[in-house]
């Protein structure tokens, strides 16, 4: 019994590794390709059949990328954008998600319907109206303009509502008995239980904010007020794209995202310890 359990455990561990390693190869492949391309010449990057390794490693692509864009400003803007969007998304979505999951109030289903409807809408229809709103307020070409469409998050609300629905009611009831009101129950008892979900939402929101390319280009014109991804896209010409420089720039742009991920990764691990649950 004991030995068979052990061997079956070893088998499952081996299987886990095999699947994860195979998956990792698939996942990491475009990333490796991106690194290789960033060291190629333009001709090598477009060669058919593709040339896998550059014949000489061109570091100049990185200096070209650095020289053609105001990277410091772009890093700051992207950082601000991500911080504001993540804070807004986590804060407002936690509040709304908790209310939808655990509180009773008038028109609850109707209001939740609004959240769902937003998720059904294709983002392309928002661009022009949101630009016009900003233009009326005279706020185009500002950092606020970058944050504007992401002030609230329907997805975040739905996601956290589901998380709160998974938390037993007894925990909240215990808090009432201790004399907490609804708001205190939320902030002191319930909110801390959702650490790993909030971290996941933060990663999700950050990645979306980071990769959103269309909106920054529409709402802002000044390159100094762009985000990294949007700034990078201005390196594309109408007819030609210099892939090596683009890839070099994209690699430079990824650095803050990787750092951010490593920070949240820790939060993830802590999330386990914090959710005692039943």
Two tokens, residue 137: 């307020």
Q: What is the C-alpha to C-alpha distance for residues 226 and 220, in angstroms, rounded to an integer?
A: 7
Tell the smallest beta-carbon distance from residue 63 to another protein (Å): 16
Tell the smallest beta-carbon distance from residue 178 to another protein (Å): 14
Residue number, 23 or 59, with CB nearest to another protein: 23
Side-chain-side CA neighbours of residue 23 (13 Å): 6
Q: What is the C-alpha to C-alpha distance for residues 121 and 61, in angstroms, rounded to an integer?
A: 39
Tell the smallest beta-carbon distance from residue 252 to another protein (Å): 11
Residue number, 52 or 59, with CB nearest to another protein: 52
Residue number, 59 or 219, with CB nearest to another protein: 219
Q: Are 220 and 149 in contact (CB under 8 A)?
A: no
Residue number, 59 or 192, with CB nearest to another protein: 192
Under 8 Å CB-to-CB from 78, ≥6 apart: which residues? 209, 210, 227, 228, 229, 253, 256
Q: What is the C-alpha to C-alpha distance for residues 72 and 228, in angstroms, rounded to an integer?
A: 10
Residue number, 59 or 220, with CB nearest to another protein: 220
Q: What is the C-alpha to C-alpha distance for residues 194 and 192, in angstroms, rounded to an integer?
A: 5
Tell the smallest beta-carbon distance from residue 103 to another protein (Å): 4
Q: What is the C-alpha to C-alpha distance for residues 134 and 144, in angstroms, rounded to an integer?
A: 9
Side-chain-side CA neighbours of residue 246 (13 Å): 14
Tell the smallest beta-carbon distance from residue 91 to another protein (Å): 6
Residue number, 59 or 173, with CB nearest to another protein: 173
Tell the smallest beta-carbon distance from residue 133 to another protein (Å): 8
């Amino acid at each position: 019994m004991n030995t068979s359990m052990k061997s079956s455990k070893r088998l499952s561990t081996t299987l886990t590794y095999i699947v994860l390693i195979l998956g990792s190869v698939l996942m990491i492949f475009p990333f490796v390709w991106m690194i290789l391309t960033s060291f190629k010449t333009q001709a090598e990057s477009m060669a058919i059949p593709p040339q896998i390794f550059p014949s000489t490693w061109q570091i100049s692509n990185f200096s070209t990328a650095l020289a053609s864009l105001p990277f410091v400003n772009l890093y700051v803007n992207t950082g601000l954008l991500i911080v504001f969007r993540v804070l807004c998304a986590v804060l407002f979505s936690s509040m709304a998600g908790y209310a939808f999951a655990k509180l009773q109030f008038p028109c609850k289903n109707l209001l939740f319907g609004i959240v769902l409807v937003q998720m059904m809408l294709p983002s392309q229809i928002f661009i022009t109206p949101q630009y016009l709103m900003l233009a009326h307020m005279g706020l185009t070409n500002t950092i606020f303009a970058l944050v504007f469409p992401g002030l609230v998050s329907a997805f975040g609300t739905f996601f956290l509502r589901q998380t709160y629905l998974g938390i037993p009611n007894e925990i909240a009831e215990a808090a009432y008995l201790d004399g907490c009101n609804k708001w205190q129950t939320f902030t002191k008892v319930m909110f801390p239980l959702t650490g790993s979900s909030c971290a996941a939402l933060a990663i999700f929101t950050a990645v979306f904010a980071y990769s959103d390319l269309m909106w920054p280009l529409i709402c802002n014109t000044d390159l100094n007020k762009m985000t990294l991804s949007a700034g990078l896209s201005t390196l594309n010409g109408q007819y030609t794209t210099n892939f090596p420089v683009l890839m070099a720039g994209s690699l430079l742009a990824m650095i803050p995202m990787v750092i951010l991920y490593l920070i949240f990764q820790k939060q993830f691990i802590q999330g386990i310890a914090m959710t005692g649950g039943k």
